Amino acid sequence: MGEQNLTIVEEFVIQGFYDLPNLQDLLFGIFTVVYMSILMGNGLIITIIKTDPALHTPMYFFLGNFSFLEICYTSVILPRMLMNFWTQNRNISLIACAVQLCFLLILGATECFLLAVMAYDRYVAICKPLYYPVIMNQKVCIQVVVGSWICGIPVQIGQTCQIFSLPFCGSNKLNNIFCDVLPLLKLACGDTSVNELFVYAGALLFVTVPFVLIIWSYVNIIATILNLPVGMGRTKAFSTCSSHLIVVALFFGSAIITYLRPKSMHSPGIDKVLSLFYTIVTPMFNPLIYGLRNKDVIAALKKILSKLI
């Protein structure tokens, strides 16, 4: 066999929005505002839940954890993206890329399971209201939240190690807005079919299984609500579920399309847009969805503002 001259990749260049050179300053401003709104909005939700005793219930305990998760999730991506816009230096070392990918995978798995836990909480509250205080007691709530945070850690660390054990040679241009699994596999040398199989298996485990549990919960919830007499708590039951359903649709919709659609249907432009949805758009709209549509949160916010004034 003849020798081949291959350049071993020591760092990646995150392409991001390089194809829009005239909009770099505008994009920096937009994403700065987006990041600040995510921090302030989700931080406000956490503060309201912590300070108002009326919100010390399982539903708002899960919401507070979810808001904290959203802050962590976007903080893995947006600060580096903003730095890239500011310095015009899009280079990232292999180690930094691996760390970013690992945290994204772990936090993404946590978000999937936490959304499933929140759906189950609504299922118990609506379908088994008499047993709700027993089933969703404080100990159980803490256990399921801790489980949501840690259950994906060993698998996702293994997934990251497996991807970065591949040789990267040739092009180092990562055509995405952050280090993600599928764009990295495109840059790997040799056969990556086994790695792609593990990616799909991971997506089935951490995306599809929680999504199926959410669907099961809401099928039972809707059936229970429709069996209620007209006007007897139907509106309140639907309102407590609608906010969660919107977040589920935004996050799972974009994640499922990204990771589970056929390889032939992938394109860099669409992948970037979908990545924005499940990493940035959902965390940005989370405070608006849960805050403006929730009377309890609005009432608690008014109490805080009245005390400050």
Give pLDDT tens digits for 104-126. 999 999 999 999 999 999 999 98
| Contacts with 173 (C-beta within 8 Å, 6 or more apart), sequence order | 12, 13, 15, 187
Determine, yes or no, domain membership for 298.
yes
Average predicted confidence (pLDDT) for the chain: 84
Is 155 domain-assigned? yes
Q: How many CA atoms lie within 13 A of 59 on its CB side?
A: 18
pLDDT confidence of residue 260: 67
User: Which tens digit of pLDDT belongs to each residue from 232-281?
Assistant: 566 766 777 888 888 888 888 877 777 666 666 666 667 777 778 778 88
Q: Which helix (H) or strand (E) holds 34?
A: helix 24-51
d(CA 39, CA 30): 14
In a domain, 105, yes or no: yes
Residue 71 lies in a domain: yes
pLDDT at 201: 85
Residue 142 maps to a domain: yes
Q: In what order do the strands lie in the sheet with 173-174?
A: 91-93, 11-14, 173-174
pLDDT score, position 2: 41
Indicate whether 58 belongs to any domain.
yes
Tokens of 168: 């990267």
The burial class, CB within 10 Å (0-12 / 13-18 / 19+), for 144 is: buried
What pLDDT is recorded for position 6?
Answer: 55
pTM for this structure?
0.88
In percent, the amount of the chain with pLDDT more than 90 equals 34
In our burial notation (b when 16+ CB lie closer than 10 A, e otherwise), range 207-216 reads bbebbebbee
Question: Is the pLDDT reported for residue 173 higher than 80?
Answer: yes
pLDDT for the residue 1: 39
303 pLDDT exceeds 80?
Answer: yes
Q: How confident is the model at residue 66 (pLDDT cuts 50, 70, 90)?
A: very high
Query: What is the average per-residue pLDDT within 116-138?
Result: 92
- Higher pLDDT residue, 201 or 67? 67
The rounded distance, in Å, linking the Cα atoms of 258 and 271 is 7
Give the residue, 266 or 287, on which the prediction is more confident. 287
Phi-psi region of 92 (alpha: psi -120 to 50; beta: other; left: phi over 0): beta
Task: Please tell me the predicted confidence (pLDDT) of residue 230.
Answer: 67
Residue 7: predicted pLDDT: 60
pLDDT given at position 261: 67
Residues 209-230: pLDDT tens digits? 899 999 999 999 888 888 877 6
For the ranges 74-78, 172-176, 204-208, the maximum mean pLDDT occurs at 74-78
- Rounded Cα distance between 31 and 266, Å, is 25
Higher confidence at residue 256 or residue 64?
Answer: 64
Q: Is residue 1 part of a domain?
A: no
Q: Which of 31-45, 76-90, 169-183, 242-256 has the highest mean pLDDT?
A: 31-45
Question: Please, what is the Cα angle at 74 between 113 and 22, to 5 degrees?
Answer: 140
pLDDT at residue 170 is higher than 80? no
What's the Cα-to-Cα distance from 123 to each of 113, 135, 136, 236, 258, rounded to whole Å? 15, 11, 11, 14, 28
Contact 204, 255 (CB under 8 A): no
> How far apart (Å, rounded) are the C-alpha atoms in residues 295 and 281?
23
In this structure, are residues 214 and 207 in contact, taking their beta carbons and an 8 Å threshold? no
Stated as kind and residue range, the H or E segment containing 174 is strand 173-174
- The CATH number linked to 283 is 1.20.1070.10
Count of domains observed in the chain? 1
Give the structural domain span for 254: 11-308
In-domain check, residue 6: no
CB 52 within 8 A of CB 291: no
